[in-house]
Amino acid sequence: MSIDVSQMQELRNIDLEARVEIARKVGRILARENGAGESDDALELAQLLVEDAAISVREALSKELRACSFLPRELVSKLAQDIDQVSMPFLMASQAIDDSFLEDIVRSCGSGQQEAIAQRSHLSEVVSFAISDVGSYDAVSTLVENDTATLSGRSHHRVVERFPEERSLMEKLAQRADLPAEVVERIIFKVSKRYGEYLSEKFGLATDYASYLVSMANRQVFSRTLEMAPLSEIQNYLQQLSTIGSLTSDVLLNYLQNGNVRLFTMAVAVRLDRPYEAVEAKLSQGDKKIVARLLEAAGFSKSVIGVLLIAYERLIRGH
């Protein structure tokens, strides 16, 4: 195609179908490696087309320009900040956008653009972290599902920090091949039993899922982490322990000895199958008889209740 630059200003007078076809041809010229002679004119026309009022014209241009390895930053910026119909195909595959610019877009544009970037093949660690750090839920979910994206430890941790109660997202994270071992403790009590078993097997944490969960429950560092989690996550984790018969007196004693009041209260609530708030209200009275009755209803023997009450009294005095 030979472009007559003198006719650029008359572009708006051309009918829509013709402008769409011009946009396609301009994009193909710019995407061609050796477009000498035509590329300068095509670039000027592209800068005019990107301002076209018709979405179909801008969309046609953006789709063709995806294969272009170099474009002026101003042109890239206009395409990137256009409506989703125009910007998303371009952002998903454009070869003309470097990591620095992609990061800027992630941190300044909307969810649609973020989600498009999250779908890019072989996304760098820097851009992946930007999405993990500020991206919408949909963008982060798309990123986590992108097996070619590079997710470092800091990206995994940031996702867990931002979306701690999104079980489906945690389960997607659990499936990633690059999930660091140090993140496992942070997500294992957020996911379903099936994914907990998957993580245990994947990292060789234990041959038996139940014994692994119990060993984690008895570790102070894990208990402290769990203590700070939302109640829904604590309940999910403890219900899993209860289901496999591992929400024992040893676990409750450990929580009392380490000052994990929320964990102890939720553990009793799960054993009783009662709301957390109802159990908390009774325990907050500080009456040993009430605590003893709750523990008895939870299925503990008198000798075990005696030991738990001693630990409970020490905890109350310490507060």
Query: How many whole angstroms separate alpha carbon 252 and alpha carbon 263?
Result: 8
Angle, helices 261-272 vs 288-297, to 10°: value is 50
Put simply, whether the predicted model's pTM sits higher than 0.95 gets the answer no
The total of other beta-carbon atoms located within 10 Å of residue 268's CB is 26
Residue 1 confidence (pLDDT): 43
Amino acid 171 reads E
pLDDT tens digits, 230-263: 888 889 889 988 988 889 998 899 899 888 899 9
CB 313 within 8 A of CB 256: no
179's CB contacts (< 8 A; 6+ apart) are 156, 173, 202
273's CB contacts (< 8 A; 6+ apart) are none
CB 49 within 8 A of CB 26: yes
Query: How many whole angstroms separate alpha carbon 182 and alpha carbon 222?
Result: 11
Residue 169 confidence (pLDDT): 92
pLDDT tens digits, 149-159: 999 999 999 99
Q: Which two tokens stand for residue 271?
A: 């054993």
Q: How far is CA 133 from CA 20, 57, 142, 262, 284, in A?
A: 38, 34, 14, 29, 38
- Provide block-wise average pLDDT over 10 residues at a time, the chain (319 residues): 50 85 92 61 87 93 90 90 92 92 93 94 97 97 96 93 87 87 74 70 63 57 75 88 89 89 95 96 90 95 92 81
